[in-house]
Each structure stands twice: as structure tokens, then as C-alpha cells.
Structure 1
Amino acid sequence: MSTPEKEFITRFLSLATINPPLLASNYKKPLQAVETLGVALPPLRYKYDANKNKNSGNWSDGEIHLSMKSIRPPKFALSRSFLGNNTIYQVKAFIVMQEEAVHDATQLKVLLKGKVLHDNLLLSDLKVSEAQLTVLVAKPEPNAPNNKNETSSTMETSKAKLMVPWKDIRSILLQKLEDETTAQEIFNRLQRGWEVTELP
């Protein structure tokens, strides 16, 4: 991928995540506002399981309790309840906030029963109410510049990245909003927006 294409994608993702969506993911138009029902379609020939559909709705709308454990240094064990529309990336962001030894979500790999879970996977897709996740923490990649100027520039950039006071920002949001769920959602969007606009 060329540099202009990468910059375009970066800017596009940044703009797409700045403003919140106008409609919620579970938006439904009131029945009273529906003027026409559309064209009648022939019934599908399959056996409808009402209980199965009901259970999948519970995973999406309800809470999913996750236990996160690292079996290699740095070792830790965390647990928390997430919403079904949260993603694996938000789970990683939570781990980064809780563990000082982890500096970035890219260091983490989250596994369920030996299978790697991708960042954009919704927790509702796991189709469980509780899950035990294994977390693998990779060491941060060391900088290996070719000359002194690159060394200085790279060190300054690295320091600038590590100087972002995410924990202080989260504390301020909690103090101002007094609602942990809302504060966490805003914090996750701020952190995600920062990372997608950060050029390599």
C-alpha cells in the first residue's frame, strides 16, 4: 500500500470516528410511524426457533462477564463485565489502562480456547454469557535507527507517544461525568481516534 493511500485511509477513519452515529446500533422505527409494509413476500421454508433468537438477543443487549489472564510475564488476572456490542479492541484498551507493564493494545493477543480473537470482533459473536480469555503480551519493538539524527527523532517521537496521560484523562472524565459507563465509552473513542490518526 502506497503512502498516499495509507494517509487517505488514516484520515478517513479519523473523520468517521470523530462524530457519534446518528442512530443507535439497535435502533427500531416505531410501528406507529410505519406508513407502508412493503411488498408481501412468500414465506421461507425453514423451521424458526424462537428460543434461539431470544438467546442471541440477550448476548447482544446484556452483559458478558470476561476473565482475562496472562500466563506469561507480565502476569495478571483481571475480570470485568462488558456489553455485547463491545469489541475485543475495547477489552485490550481496558487491559492497557489497568496494567502499567502494557503500553499499547498492539502488544496484546487475546485468545479463547486457543483461537486468536481479532480486534473488530463483537463480544456478542462469542455467544456466551461468561468467558475465560488468555492474554499474550509481546515485548515492545525496540527502535533501531541508522544514524544519530534518526535516533534523536525516533526517541522524541517514542517519548511523545508514551507521554499521553491516558489514566489522567480517564480520571478527569469520571470526575466530570460521574457515570463510569459513559466516561469509559468517551475514553475509548478518544483513545481509538488518537491511534488511527497516528502516522507511523
Structure 2
Amino acid sequence: MSAGNDIDALIDMMARLPGLGPRSARRAVLQLIRKKELLLTPLADLMHHVAVSVRECAVCGNIGSASVCDICANEKRATGEICVVEDVADLWAMERSGVFRGKYHVLGGTLSALDAIGPDELGIPRLIQRVADEGVTEVILALNATVDGQTTAHYIADQLEGQVRLTSLAQGVPIGGELDYLDDGTITAALRARKEL
């Protein structure tokens, strides 16, 4: 493969990333090449290291370099609260706000009959088991305000009804909104104003 073809392949690969189209990918690749020693080589090394070392937390589904993530391993985190999120990006958004001091459970998606995604594909049975095993007193459903997100929230609420206090994010999260795109203040307001389901 020629160097030109390698560069085109890199541009095509970068263009697949969220937020980067072909033009942005081309600009990013040119910048990486121009600063090869400062950016490209260290980035390639770091990406290889992450590809080899990254793993899913055995407890909550977060990602990190250990079998149990830093949040689950932190004994200072409140053990009575579990915040259920759709994916890792949502967990990171919640953490960025700095308000929630409990633990998390990452579903890895939402229920979807059209895509044949049921409770077992999302690890909902594992969440229910965690609630029983860890002495959880509150489950906060911080799912995206989409139809699938709300369907998933209602399903989880039905499964846990009477076992634990169930709350959801309240004001601040717009209908159709996704946590990863919200600012810290909106997430903080929504978490503080959560309500019973």
C-alpha cells in the first residue's frame, strides 16, 4: 500500500468518528502528520496501549484499565444509590457534573423491539441482582428522554417496584435530549430535582 493510500485510509477511518466528517478528518490528519513527533507517534502509541488494556467493569459496565473501575472500587462512594445510565458516555457526563456520589449501572443501550434488544441484552437482570446483593436503597433512572429510554425506565421500574426507592431525572433534561450533550449545570439541576416514578 502506498503512503498516499495509507493517508487516505487514515482519513476515511477518522471520518467514521462522531463529530468528524471527511473535511474535519482531513484537517485532523494533516495536523497529525505535520506534528508527527509531537502528536501522531504518541497518539498511535497511546491508542495501541488503550486497545490492549481497556476492559469493561465487571460490576457496573463502565470502561477502564482494571476489571473493577475506579468508581466501583472507591469505598467513599455511597453504596446505597445506583444511577442507571444508557451508556458509558452518559456515565461520564454525570461524573463531569460532580454532583452524584453513588455508584452506577451502565445498561449498554435501551430496550428496542425493532432491534430485538431485550432485558437480557442490556444486563437488566444483573441490575436487579445488584439491588438485592448490595443493599441498595435508591435506583436513579438517568436514561435519555427518548421513547426507548422511557420504555426502558418503565420496564426497570416495574421490575424493582416495592424493592427500592425509584427516582428519575427531572427538570432540565429536554424531551428527546441525550445526557452526553447536556452541560454540567443542566445535569446538576436534573439530578437534584429527581422525582419518584
Largest Rg, 1 or 2: 1
Pick 1 or 2: higher relative contact order, CA cutoff 8 A, min separation 6.
1
Is this a same-fold pair by TM over 0.5? no
TM-score by length of 2: 0.24
Considering fraction of residues, name the structure with more strand.
1
